[in-house]
Homo-oligomer: A and B are copies of this chain.
Amino acid sequence: MKRDIPKIGRSFPRSDAESKVRGEEKYAADYYGPDLLWAGVKRAGLPHGLIRKIDCSAAERVPGVVKVLTAADVPGANRHGIVHKDMPVLADDKARHAGDGVALVIAETKESLRLALECVSLDIQSLPGVFDPEAALASGAPLIHEGREQGNLLSTAVVQSGDGADGLDRCPVVVEGSFEVPMQAHAFLETENGIAWRTEGGEIVMIASTQAPFRDRLEIQHALGIPLDRIRMIAPYLGGGFGGKDGVTVQCLLALAALHSGGRPVKMHWDREESFLAGYKRHATKMYYALGADSDGSFRALRCRLYYDTGPYAHLGAEIMAMGLEHAAGPYRIPNIFCEGFCVYTNNPVAGAMRAFGVVQPAFGIERMVDLLAEKLSMDPLSLRLKNALKPGNTHGTGVPVHPSTGIVQCLETVEAHPLWKARKEWTKESPPFTKRGVGVAAVFHAMGYGRNVPDFATAKIELTREGGFRIYSGVSDMGQGNASTCVQIAGDILGQPAANFELIQPDTSRTLYSGSSAASRTTYTYGNALALACKDLRRRLYNRAALLLFLTQTKDLRMKPGKVLHAPSGREVPLSRLAGLMRDEEHTYIADYWAKTFEGEPVTGKGIPFGYPHLLFSYGAHLAYVEVDVLTGRVRVPSYLAVTDAGRVLNPQIYEQQVQGAVAQGLGYALLEELIAEDGKILTPDLRKYLIPGAMDVPDLLCVAVEVGGERSPLGMKGLGEIGSCGPLPAVANAVASALGVTLNRAPLSPQRILDAIERKEKANR
């Protein structure tokens, strides 16, 4: 088994599986150090208030306390943020949400730390808060950030094509609806944490659970004024990320602590409550939709308005909202659209990146609209989708040309041909007592990469070791999605080596090279393509050197074999260890760059969006959900689920399936269970007892089918897969429940209470 050569396109056991199962793989949380100190944050505790005084004297007297620091001790700008730098390391003037940090304590033990945090005494004058994005835009709303011309509006944008909203006036059929989705927590197994220390040479070294170690350095540099070359970030495997570790969490705090720990390592590890309180969330969003069509069902016009609640800090809110706008029209041809988006500051917890970055929300809106239209026209919802689905040669609803690799039609046709689809009517007819069955579909799409005007770039490095093995230097974190293993697979295929012949170096700003963040479904695409180039370069060099040793004048008959290069016609071979011994150190390594393809030129729509709009490459999916609703309890069960996905070439069917299954499971959680509730800024679901995520028993056997549409001409031929699967469950389940009950459901999750309320509303209306 260990001698098997991985092949791109075939299943290959994850190279990290065994070490993780054995507990040998170290996550950031597993790192301790000699003379370890612990750091923790005192948080504001109220959603909006003027900080008048922070009294640390009692805390400083707690035995074992090394240092208590406040904003006054932050040596740099005391602000971070990926695009908009508006989030303080430690709040200075104001607290803007309950999780704002106000003091940092360093202590010898966790117990001293806990006591000292309790002893930090805060004098914060409460201010009126605002907790709804539309309310925050109203005149007279409390201002989260003073002095901004735009008030609480972080950003607004419009995507307009054709005649825009006027198109609706000429549509014989129009449906309308408003939708609302809540905050979602990433709920990773490994909460935010890290460990940091200052070396004798003055370098800050940090091991953290992070999706963007290279960018973290820039954030620390800005917030604390530490020069970039004095910061080393190391990112081991993550116990989950999902976007929640894209912006900095513990990083600036730990760097600050390391400046005051006398060279001792300092560890910070948020527990679940702190993670829910202070970590990032999926944006709660309110949406207003109107979709118009011809009487034959051809989509003609779309109008929508999206309000994203970013909490008190920007994180990537403006970009997430723009991404939502780009996807608001779904994977359809719609000649006239007018979509407006608003990203708004409130005193809710901070929202940020989460899997399917702003797209999950409008996928719910547009896909419900399509089902409502199908109902109104008495059309089959799948046929209606197929009729309007994008094909190469079309333009997106946004007016942007469709890439040749667009496979939504093939996805929908695959659903149509699937036994689950064919059996749907039989199945729904046979509902057990007090149960209603329904079937729903959703067509979704998701962009890959950072989008227009954002450099989307990776640098891969591969090294032949002295012993004749290989070392891969990964520039992008593996959050658990399996990109590290896919690196081994790519390199193994190209270099003809079994997985055991590779060592994989996880991101480390001192050892691996800048490759952007582990985000935007870009990781395997951008880094993987760079790695493929580097491996081909190194293979060419190994062939060249072997040819010299074998006194050959060409390399075409050479083949990579485990541990050696073989000259096929003669059977002569050169061990890689021998080549390694003869090659100079500098020849052992190849470094290759890869630019992800981006949309070039000016888009004719959405002109005001500076970054990330539009994208060039999208993955597509068609999801089919079977649901059973218990009409007595309101509980929704999903006994069968089919996810058909076009993400280009499948590199590893096993990981492909795992990615889709994981995303669907998380999407089913958002559809049915997950809702981070904050009432007046106070979180009512502070931990996993109250914030429910699906367990193994809640998730059906998920059927995953890949549609490998060609047209993506990168070395690997694949597209992004990490996020597309999240977009389908909420609309597919909502459509299924709506068809089962004949009700309209505009709010996620479809909790038992909401189901019962809907049934009651319907019954009242029927009375």
Interface residues of A (CB under 8 A from B): 452-457, 459, 461, 513-514, 540-541, 544, 547-548, 551-555, 584, 586-587, 589, 591, 593, 595, 598, 600
Contacts and interface: CB of A to CB of B under 8 A. Distances in A.
B593 A457 contact: no
Given A514-B548, A548-B455, A548-B514, A553 B587 contact: no
10 tightest Cβ-Cβ pairs between the two chains A and B = A553-B598, A544-B593, A455-B548, A455-B553, A455-B547, A587-B591, A453-B553, A455-B551, A457-B548, A455-B552
Nearest to A594: B544
23 contacts: A452-B553, A453-B551, A453-B553, A454-B551, A455-B547, A455-B551, A455-B552, A455-B553, A457-B544, A457-B547, A513-B584, A540-B593, A541-B591, A541-B593, A544-B595, A553-B595, A553-B598, A554-B595, A554-B600, A555-B595, A586-B589, A586-B591, A587-B591
Contacts of A552: 455
Contacts of A513: 584, 587
A96 B724 CA distance: 82
Contacts of A454: 551, 553
Nearest to A544: B593
Nearest to A590: B591
A508 to B, nearest CB: 12
A591 B513 CA distance: 18
A593 B591 CA distance: 15
Contacts of A459: 544, 587
A586 B459 CA distance: 12
Contacts of A587: 459, 513, 591
A586 B471 CA distance: 15
Contacts of A544: 457, 459, 593, 595
A468 B562 CA distance: 41
A514 B584 CA distance: 10
Contacts of A457: 544, 547-548
Nearest to A555: B595
A598 B586 CA distance: 28
Nearest to A582: B228
Q: Which of A544, A553, A595 has the most CB of B within 10 A?
A: A553
Contacts of A584: 513
Nearest to A585: B586
A493 B584 CA distance: 28
A620 to B, nearest CB: 23
Nearest to A547: B455
Given A452-B553, A554-B595, A586-B589, 16 more contacts: A453-B551, A455-B551, A455-B553, A457-B544, A459-B544, A459-B587, A513-B587, A514-B548, A540-B593, A541-B593, A544-B595, A553-B595, A553-B600, A554-B600, A586-B586, A586-B591
A224 to B, nearest CB: 20
A218 to B, nearest CB: 12
A714 B592 CA distance: 23
A733 B584 CA distance: 50
Contacts of A593: 540-541, 544
B586 A553 contact: no
A154 B595 CA distance: 58
